[in-house]
């Protein structure tokens, strides 16, 4: 209501008021009168004219002392007593007076005196839109987790508007955005603004959203107030860690050291804070993987904690999980491939090994073995070899198996043992190899007979040995071994069945020593041959034989024996020498033999004693006795010469012979022997005739055998000279000695001759004498010369 247009209105009200006052006199002011005024009117503004309402005259107001009373001290209304206008005493602020209470009514009374009269009245103060909506906080902060689902509502603080009614808050608006809209809700307290989440928040996309909230009231014109709504998006663990690669493939050499960094995995988590803190762990890892690898939980570095071995494990598949603080996780796979290195030498496994192989067998299997190398590729390919110079062959059989066989027959005697080095090497880089040494022993087979060190042994024994003398040793060796090489010796039956072998020698079966069983006599047996056998103990036994030639060596055990002149006869021979003989006339020849041989039989002659020294001389080497000078009449008729015959043995043995020489004047008349001898010879005995005949036949027989002997001897000498042997070379003969070994036979013929002459002494026998030497003279001239009866 405006004060300007109120005259008519005022009159109508005045009439109504009067009517009521008239009524009210009786009823004592029962009906209050209502007035209204807008707030914020200037003081003195007209509110209403009371005259009509009260039914009073203009001057009545002043006369009766009309006034306005109200509760409280403050007099907000003033009554103009002249006009009856009710005026505002001051500016009224509805909000101050009533706050939110609507309607805002100030009750008052109009008091009249004389008579006392009350009029109840009230003044309603009408609201005008004099306040804008106001937010208490200019900035509203909302913390909303990004995980909140759309549709969720968030109450926000309301704005305040002191005005009431349509002037109060009517509407809110929100700046356009993609995440929220505003929901207004009526409530007894007014409109409640709510933010409704339309679309899920994503902190990772936008961490803060700023919106402007505007509050509007309804007054004409509407007023507004704004506030900034700051929405902080709270992180929620809505992002799982994500690996940059889902599959890692790495290759690691198997000799990589402990601590080697195999790989480094990394995952990303868009969340922040603990939601973004990633720790890496193995997931579903076997014990083996846990032993072999270690992962740094914070950095994702993958280390080796133990040595890899291609041969046991070639690949590892590691599942690695990255977990953030909120418990979300992601995973990746690391495929670790172990690269082979040639770190394993080949290995050899012996399956069968026969270390003793009999000799003389063809192709024998000695060993069966297998080779292996855990490495792969060339590192695991192998070659197998043995030394080149062995009679063995390596034969590959089934896969990686080899047999070692002999390449033909072995001979224990040439090599009894083979050290075989089997070398297995792989083809890797570097090449690794394994050596296996085996020793194969060749076992013996009795394939060798004992062999004597010589096929012929020549043993020399001095005669007159002591019995059971060790005369020599034969030895045979057997190249076999063991019993096959144990040699026993034996004597074999002699070729000459008459040789009394059993009494001559014996042999030690074990060591081949030969013993002379009895004393040997060179003069009886100069040599003999024995066959010895050697046999081994193999089965079957093998044997061989050798010839042992035993030579009996001569000892000087025989003194020279004088054949002529005969010494044991009672009537010694007497040589006749004509006095007319010239110097050097051969008187006779002393003939001697020696049973020994060699030096022991080399004889020398020496004139030991003579009746007249100087008349006769003896030739040392042939025993010829010759006159040394012309004979004279003064020389005695009889002479006696003592001749010493000495051999060259050590010590020398000797014999002496006495010669009787008779000097005669001529050969015309036969000179009779010594008177005493002649007496004996005179007794001619018819028995002698038979004896002579017997002797003659014996002599001729002897002659024959002697000739044969000479022939044999000559033959043998020529043989010995060419073939060596035991013969003493001719040149070694001392000059003064005579070898009677050849002449001995002649001497023997002499012996018989002389014995005939000396033994019987008859003239008939002497007459026969020249015949015998004539036979002999065919062989040796000197002997015939020596015959004193010749010529």
Ligand X SMILES: *[C@@H]1O[C@H](CO)[C@@H](O)[C@H](O)[C@H]1NC(C)=O
Q: How far is the CB of 583 from ligand X (least distance, A)?
A: 34
Q: Smallest distance from the beta carbon of 729 to ligand X, in angstroms?
A: 34
CB closer to ligand X out of 310 and 418: 418
Residue with Cβ nearer ligand X (298 or 519) = 298
Q: What is the nearest approach in angstroms of ligand X to the Cβ of residue 294? A: 8
3-state DSSP of 275-313: HHCCEEEECCCCHHHHHHEEECCCCCEEEECCCCCCCCC
Nearer to ligand X, 140 or 215 (CB): 215
Q: Which C-beta is closer to ligand X: that of 5 or that of 676?
A: 676
Give min distance, CB of 595 to ligand X, in A: 13
| Angle between helical axes of 686-723 and 740-755 (0-180°, round to 10) | 180
Q: Are 566 and 598 in contact (CB under 8 A)?
A: no
Q: In sequence order, what are the residues at sequence separation of 6 or more whose Cβ sits closer than 8 angstroms to the Cβ of residue 45? A: 3, 37, 87, 88
Smaller CB distance to ligand X: residue 117 or 688? 688
Q: Min. distance of Cβ 180 from ligand X in angstroms?
A: 16
Pick the closest to residue 760 from 599, 566, 509 (CA basis). Answer: 566
DSSP secondary structure string for all residues of 176-196: --SSEEEEEEEETTEEEEEEE
Nearer to ligand X, 173 or 508 (CB): 173
Q: Report the nearest approach of ligand X to the CB of residue 371 (Å).
A: 15
Closer to ligand X by CB, 299 or 454: give it: 299
Cβ proximity to ligand X: between 503 and 570 the closer is 570
Measured from the CB of residue 165, what is the shortest distance to ligand X in angstroms?
A: 14
Q: Work out how close the CB of 570 gets to ligand X at its nearest, in angstroms, rounded to a whole number.
A: 6
Residue 585 has phi, psi (to 5 degrees) of -65, 130
Binding residues for ligand X (CB under 6 A) = 170-171, 173, 296, 298-299, 417, 419, 421, 435, 437, 439, 568-570
Whichever of 435 and 453 has its CB closer to ligand X, that residue is 435
Shortest reach from residue 564's CB to ligand X, in Å: 12
| CA–CA–CA angle 60, 62, 65 (5° rounding) | 100
Which residues, at least 6 apart from 627, have a Cβ–Cβ distance to it below 8 Å?
Answer: 577, 581, 582, 583, 584, 585, 587, 615, 616, 617
**By C-alpha distance, which of 583, 581, 603, 579 is closest to 591?**
603
Of 559, 586, 567, the closest CA to residue 575 belongs to 586
Q: Which candidate, 280, 283, 291, places its Cα nearest to that of 318?
A: 283
Spell out a b/e string for 121-140, using b for 16 or more CB atoms within 10 Å of the CB, else e: bbbbbbbebbbbbbbeeeeb
C-alpha 280/C-alpha 555 separation (Å) is: 118
Distance between CA atoms of 92 and 94, rounded to whole angstroms?
6
- At 98, list the tokens: 């009533």
User: In sequence order, what are the residues at sequence separation of 6 or more whose Cβ sits closer than 8 angstroms to the Cβ of residue 512?
Assistant: 473, 474, 475, 476, 487, 489, 532, 534
In the bound complex, what is the minimum distance in angstroms from residue 528's beta carbon to ligand X?
A: 29
Residue 515 is encoded by which pair of tokens? 């013993």
* Residue number, 296 or 337, with CB nearest to ligand X: 296
């Amino acid at each position: 209501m405006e004060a300007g247009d109120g005259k008519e209105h005022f009159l109508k009200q005045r009439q109504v008021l009067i009517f009521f006052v008239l009524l009210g006199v009786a009823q004592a002011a029962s009906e209050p009168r209502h007035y209204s005024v807008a707030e914020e009117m200037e003081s003195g503004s007209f509110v209403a004219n009371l005259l009509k309402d009260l039914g009073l005259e203009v001057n009545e107001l002043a006369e009766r002392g009309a006034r306005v009373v109200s509760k409280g001290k403050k007099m907000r209304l003033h009554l103009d007593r002249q006009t009856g206008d009710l005026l505002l005493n001051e500016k009224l602020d509805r909000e101050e007076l009533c706050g939110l209470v609507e309607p805002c009514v100030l009750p008052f009374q109009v008091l009249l005196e004389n008579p006392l009269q009350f009029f109840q009245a009230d003044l309603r103060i009408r609201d005008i839109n004099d306040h804008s909506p106001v937010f208490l906080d200019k900035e509203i902060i909302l913390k909303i987790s990004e995980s909140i689902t759309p549709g969720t509502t968030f109450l926000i603080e309301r704005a305040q508007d002191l005005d009431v009614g349509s002037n109060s808050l009517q509407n809110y608006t929100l700046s356009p955005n993609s995440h929220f809209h505003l929901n207004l809700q009526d409530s007894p307290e007014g409109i409640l603004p709510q933010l409704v989440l339309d679309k899920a928040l994503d902190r990772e996309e936008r961490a803060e959203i700023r919106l402007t909230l505007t509050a509007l009231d309804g007054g004409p014109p509407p007023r507004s107030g704004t506030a900034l709504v700051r929405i902080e998006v709270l992180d929620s663990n809505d992002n799982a860690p994500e690996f940059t690669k889902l599959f890692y493939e790495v290759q690691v050499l198997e000799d990589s050291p402990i601590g080697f960094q195999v790989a480094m995995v990394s995952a990303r988590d868009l969340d922040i804070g603990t939601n973004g803190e990633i720790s890496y762990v193995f997931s579903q890892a076997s014990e083996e993987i846990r032993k072999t690898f270690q992962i740094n939980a914070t950095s994702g570095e993958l280390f080796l904690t133990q040595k890899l071995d291609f041969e046991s494990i070639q690949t590892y598949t590691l599942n690695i999980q990255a977990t953030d603080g909120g418990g979300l996780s992601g995973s990746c796979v690391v495929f670790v491939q172990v690269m082979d290195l040639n770190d394993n030498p080949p290995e050899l496994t012996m399956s069968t090994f026969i270390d003793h192989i009999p000799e003389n067998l063809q192709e024998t299997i000695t060993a069966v073995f297998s080779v292996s190398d855990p490495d792969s590729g060339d590192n695991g390919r192998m070659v197998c070899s043995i030394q080149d110079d062995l009679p063995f062959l390596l034969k590959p059989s089934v896969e990686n198996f080899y047999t070692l066989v002999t390449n033909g027959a072995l001979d224990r005697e040439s090599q009894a043992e083979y050290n075989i080095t089997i070398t297995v090497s792989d083809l890797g880089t570097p090449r690794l190899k394994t050596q296996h040494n085996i020793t194969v022993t060749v076992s013996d087979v009795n394939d060798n007979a004992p062999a004597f060190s010589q096929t012929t042994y020549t043993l020399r024994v001095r005669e007159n040995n002591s019995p059971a003398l060790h005369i020599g040793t034969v030895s045979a060796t057997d190249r076999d071994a063991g019993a096959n090489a144990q040699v026993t010796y034996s004597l074999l039956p002699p070729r000459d069945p008459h040789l009394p072998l059993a009494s001559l020698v014996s042999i030690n079966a074990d060591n081949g020593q030969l013993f002379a069983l009895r004393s040997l006599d060179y003069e009886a047996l100069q040599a003999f041959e024995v066959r010895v056998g050697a046999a081994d103990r193999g089965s079957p036994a093998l044997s061989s034989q050798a010839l042992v030639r035993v030579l009996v060596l001569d000892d000087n055990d025989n003194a020279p024996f004088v054949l002529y002149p005969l010494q044991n006869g009672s009537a010694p021979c007497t040589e006749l020498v004509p006095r007319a003989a010239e110097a050097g006339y051969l008187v006779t020849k002393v003939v001697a033999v020696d049973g020994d041989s060699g030096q022991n039989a080399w004889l020398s002659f020496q004139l030991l004693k003579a009746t007249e020294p100087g008349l006769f001389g003896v030739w040392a080497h042939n025993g010829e006795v010759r006159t040394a000078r012309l004979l004279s009449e003064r020389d005695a008729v009889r002479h006696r010469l003592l001749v010493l015959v000495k051999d060259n043995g050590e010590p020398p043995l000797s014999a002496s012979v006495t010669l009787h020489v008779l000097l005669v004047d001529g050969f015309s008349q036969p000179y009779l022997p010594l008177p005493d001898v002649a007496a004996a010879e005179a007794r001619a005995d018819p028995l002698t005739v038979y004896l002579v005949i017997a002797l003659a036949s014996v002599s001729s027989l002897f002659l024959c055998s002697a000739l044969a002997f000479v022939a044999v001897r000559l033959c043998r000498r020529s043989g010995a000279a060419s073939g060596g042997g035991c013969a003493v070379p001719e040149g070694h003969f001392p000059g003064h000695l005579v070898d009677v070994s050849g002449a001995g036979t002649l001497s023997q013929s002499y012996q018989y001759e002389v014995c005939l002459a000396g033994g019987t002494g008859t003239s008939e026998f002497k007459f026969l004498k020249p015949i015998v030497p004539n036979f002999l003279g065919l062989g040796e001239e000197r002997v015939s010369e020596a015959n004193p009866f010749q010529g």
